[in-house]
Each structure stands twice: as C-alpha cells, then as structure tokens.
Amino acid sequence: MPGLFDTVVDANVHQTLRRESQLLVQLRETLEPEQVDERRRVGELLAGLEGLFTIVVVGEFNTGKSSLINALFGERLRTEGPIPVDDRISILRYRETASQKQLSGSVVEQFYPVQFLRSITLVDTPGTNSLVQHHQEVTEDFIPRADLVLFVTSIDRPLSESERRFLEYIRNWGKKVVFVINKTDTKGPDEIVEVVDYVKTNTRAIFGFDPVIFPVAAKLALETKLGGHSPRDWTRSNFEPLEDYIFRVLSEKERIRIKLQAPLDTILSVVEKQFTVIESRRQLLGLDRQRIDAITGQLSQANTELTTNFRQFTMRIDNLMMDLERRGVDFIDRYVRISHVLLWRDPLRFREEFDRQVFMGWHGSIDATVQESVDWLVKENMKLWNSTVEAFHRQVGADARDPVLIGNVGRDFAYNREEVYSRIRTETEKRLNTYDLGIESRRIIDSAMRGVFHSVSLGVGALGLGYLFTTAVSSAALDVTGLTAATMLLVASLLILPYKRGKAKAEFGERIEQLRSQIRDALGRESSVEIDRMIRGITGAFEPYERFYTSESDKVERFATRLRTVENEARDISSAVAQL
C-alpha cells in the first residue's frame, strides 16, 4: 500500500522520518514490559508512520458522522441511523472495487473506489456516548493513531458532558483537532453563530487556543450532491469550506508536517503520563524511605534504651558483690582471732564456715537476678518486635486504603511492593507465633549469661575464696620451736594475727573488686551481644523491604533518565519538523 512519503524527494523529510521511527522503537523498548497497551500503541504508531495521512472521525452517535463521511464521498456508502449501527472501528481505504476485511473483533478495513481515499485514510468510529461501553473503548483506543481528529458535534446539543470528557482525552494525546458542528440546517443564522461562539469558548478552555470550526449540514450537502436539492441548498449546507480545508488547505506539504508531528505529540503525551507514574512511585518510595529511616531510628533508640535499662541488673549484681565483700570482711574480723584458734587451724572447717556464713544465699540471689534480667530481655525483645512490626503494617494499611496514592504506580510495581509487605508479614507472624519465653530465656542463659560467671570462675567454693583465706589465716599457726604454748599464743595474738587479718581483708577486698569489675564488663559485653542480636533479628526481617526500596529507586531513576532522553529527542525532532 502506497504511503504519504513515497513520492517525497526532500532528504530532510526522510531523515526526520528515520529519526522519528528510531525514537518510536526506543520509546517502545523503554516502556516497561507490563505496559502492554502503551507498548502496543507505540508499535501501531510505528507501523502507521509511513502510511497515508489518517483522519479519525469521532463524536457521539446521532451527531451525523456517517452523513458527514457520505457527504465527503458524494455517495451514500455508510449506513446512517438515529441509533448506534456499528460497534466497530472502520478503516476506510481506496480500492477500485468495494470490499472489506475483518482485522480484529473491533476493527474492520473497508475499501471504496473514492478518489480522495488515494491520499487520505479515513477512520469512522463508534459513538463516544454509546450505551455499549465497548464502543467508547475502541474509539479511545484508536485516537493515538490519528494524524488529525475530525470531531463532530450536533448543533442541537453541542459539547455534551460526555463530549467534554472525550475532548480532554484527545487533548491528553496532543492531537490536532478540527471541529464540525453538524445539522445546522435545523437552526437559524443567529442560533448558528451563538452555537459556534459557545463551542469556540468551551474548546478554548480545554485546549488553550481557538479551534478550527466548521458549521455544516452534512445530510443536506449529500442530498445536493446526489441531485435531490438545488444549488441554493448546497450553499446553505456550508459544506464547501470543510471540503476546501480537507482537500486543499491540507496540502501535501501540510499533511507531511502534521503526519510527522502527530506521533511526536503522542510520544510527548506518553512520556508525560509516564512521568506521572514515576512521580507516584517516587512518592510511595519516599514514604518507604521514611519508614525505613523510622524503623532504623526506632531500633537505634531501642538499643540505647535497652542497654541503659539493663544496667539495673548489673547494679543489683554489683550490690550483691559489695554485700559479699562486707560479709567476708566481717567474717575475717570475727574469726581470725585467738579466740577462734581451733577453727582457723582446721582448714576444712574454716572453709565450710566461710562458705556457710559468707556465701549463704548469695548464689541463689545471683541466679535469681540473672534469670530476671534474661526474662526482661526476652520480654523487651517481644515488645520491640510487636511495636515495630505493628506500626509498619498500620502505615502500609493506610497506603492500601489511599487509591489516589497508589492508583498510578503501575501493576508490576504495586504487586512487587505488596509482595514484599506480605513476606515481611508472614515472616514476622511466624517468628512471633513460635516465640516461647521459657525456651528463649533458657537459650540466653545457656549461651550467654552463664558465660559471664563461667568466664570469671564463679564456681564451686566461690572462686576459691574459702581456700584462699583459710590458707592465709591458718598459716598463723606457726610451729615456733622452743616457745611455750602461752608464748606462742601471745605472739600470735599480739603480732601475727592482726597482720594476717589485715592482709586477708585486703586480699579479699582486692579480689572482690577484681570480680566486680570483671562481672560488670562481662554483663555489659554479654547483654550488648544479646541486645545486638535482638536488633539484628528485627532488622533482618525488614531487609527485603530495604532491598526493594533500593532496587525500585534505582529502576525508577533509570526509567526517568531514559524517558528524559526520549522527550528531549522528540522535542528536537519537533523543531526540525517545524522547519521543513
């Protein structure tokens, strides 16, 4: 089938045509795989780029579209009627014998031996206000393919609400529109002027410029061409200015310019819509970033608070150590004396008494405090999981209820995002449902907190303190040869025991201070490890969310960069078209 550019010899035109073809391919490849409709439309633009100049006739049913086409043909070839007679798009082309070919369920190609179809393809569409929604859908679907839209409205109901909505749809595609006000033979001259002014004012508000308007009586023009009316009626139909515009004003040069510009307008419209999608995604990703930062901040604050609050248990154990020191010193003061010489001369008895009076109940208090600290950590862990995850899902639920926020982000993007949320929800619910306080407490004690006391050798005999002090004190029983027992006791009470008692108390206090320092360090270290494990566990649950945000942000920005390249090239080609 011959195309508009087949007879063109201007090298600049063909260069511009090649650039535009390459740009359409680039746009189609830039669009996301899920954008099936948009990619298909761009593909159709590409397929029709080198075809004939295409005029798409649109309007509500019963505005006289078929009568208008018949008047242009000069023959009654299209079926006319007051109700929708066809729910298909009809592509009208030239052929010496009339025939038709079904292209799809909603598109038919029809051939007529009408001369002007040699250079123009005419597209007849169903009514935009059809009660059958499919009619309007196929009409809207074909608008992007138009080089020129011939918009037909009736003078008895010009620019109805459905027509206004459809005009806004056309405007969004950046198409050149020519208006036809049909059935003017039913009104007087003043009414016609009034309606023309009305249409001009309202379409200017939609498009931002004064449109080209032709008031006509298409049926009267057809009847005149068929010989049923006088030449006076031809004048009254006012059809000649419209024909003159289509067949003479739209010269080959003008049609070439419009033919090249129309896809560029569509490209810019597609790009603009895609940037709307991108902005919606950026907005959602911005909320995601805020949530990630909020979660990070919440966990950082929780880490600080947990570490600070855990010190209460460290202080309680430290107090128990100080109490142990006090009792040990008191024991030494009371028993490392001459009056208890029989006790400290018997190491075994001395150790037993030391354990009984100094360590009695101490191990139990330490164990109870450790168990309480572990239970506290486990409960705080559960509270932190609940508060973090519940707050997150409340915010996500608010997104899902906001159709404005998520309406334009794209199916694949929305699906991926919801999939990430679902995965987090499933994992956290599984975690919380299997979280057993008792088991978790025993795990911490076995793996961490017991290590505190094992690491500083708090075991049988209380760090060997009993042995240490028994040895130190019982060595006071010196075997002094040649001295009487009374002399020995006197020397021991006056010289040896005070020294041994002071030394024992000093060594005991020094050892306890070392233990206090070791236990504080060990508790701090082990609790930090456990708190860090808690925080990392919660952070790990949100890692898919962080990865999704990073991946989608990169994807969105790459998409925006490619679209910006397409947009700049379209504007550059548009400037070249204007200079042809």
Would you state the pLDDT for residue 511? 79
Domains contained in the chain, number: 2
Cα 572 to Cα 19, 20, 253, 560: the distances in Å are 10, 10, 20, 18
Q: Which amino acid is at 34?
A: E
Rounded-to-integer distance, Cα 332 and Cα 437, Å: 43
Rounded-to-integer distance, Cα 458 and Cα 193, Å: 106
Both 214 and 354 in one domain: the answer is no
Q: Pick the more confident residue, 311 or 492.
A: 311
Containing 416, the helix (H) or strand (E) segment is helix 411-433
Both 424 and 370 in one domain: the answer is yes
Task: Provide the 8-state DSSP code for 75.
Answer: S
**pLDDT above 80: residue 350:** no
CA nearest neighbour of 145 among 44, 255, 34: 44
Q: What angle do CA 477, 481, 485 make, to 5 degrees?
A: 60
Find the mean pLDDT for residues 389-410: 59
Would you state the pLDDT for residue 32? 86
Name the residue range of residue 218's domain: 52-250
Residue partners of 325: CB distance under 8 A and separation at least 6: 508, 509, 512, 513
Find the mean pLDDT for residues 198-224: 91
Weakest mean pLDDT among 89-103, 153-167, 324-338: 324-338
Rounded-to-integer distance, Cα 378 and Cα 523, Å: 16
The answer to whether residue 15 sits within a structural domain is no
Both 329 and 238 in one domain: the answer is no
Residue 204's domain is classified under what CATH number? 3.40.50.300
Q: Beta partners for 154? A: 182
Both 174 and 295 in one domain: the answer is no
**pLDDT above 50: residue 464:** no
Both 381 and 483 in one domain: the answer is yes
Q: Pick the more confident residue, 305 or 444.
A: 305
The answer to whether residue 557 sits within a structural domain is no
Tokens of 417: 């995002």
Q: Pick the more confident residue, 47 or 445.
A: 47
Q: What angle do CA 493, 494, 497 make, to 5 degrees?
A: 50
The answer to whether residue 549 sits within a structural domain is no
The answer to whether residue 46 sits within a structural domain is no
Specify whether the CB–CB gap between 294 and 394 falls below 8 A: no
Both 233 and 373 in one domain: the answer is no
Predicted confidence band at 497 (pLDDT cuts at 50, 70, 90)? low
pLDDT tens digits, one per residue of 20-70: 999 999 999 999 888 888 888 888 888 888 888 889 998 887 888 889 999
The answer to whether residue 579 sits within a structural domain is no
The answer to whether residue 551 sits within a structural domain is no
Q: What angle do CA 408, 260, 48 make, to 5 degrees?
A: 75
The answer to whether residue 32 sits within a structural domain is no
The answer to whether residue 131 sits within a structural domain is yes
Rounded-to-integer distance, Cα 192 and Cα 197, Å: 9
Both 196 and 295 in one domain: the answer is no
Find the mean pLDDT for residues 534-539: 85
Both 236 and 284 in one domain: the answer is no
Task: Provide the percentage of residues in the chain whose pLDDT is more than 70.
Answer: 77
Angle between helix 497-541 and 543-578 (nearest 10) = 40
Both 378 and 443 in one domain: the answer is yes
**pLDDT above 80: residue 229:** no
pLDDT tens digits, one per residue of 305-345: 999 998 998 898 889 888 888 888 888 788 777 677 666 66
Angle between helix 497-541 and 465-474 (nearest 10) = 170
Both 219 and 283 in one domain: the answer is no
Find the mean pLDDT for residues 132-151: 75
Both 234 and 306 in one domain: the answer is no
Which of 230, 250, 270 is where one domain is finished?
A: 250
Predicted confidence band at 217 (pLDDT cuts at 50, 70, 90)? very high
Q: What angle do CA 464, 470, 472 make, to 5 degrees?
A: 105
**pLDDT above 90: residue 179:** yes
Both 423 and 287 in one domain: the answer is yes
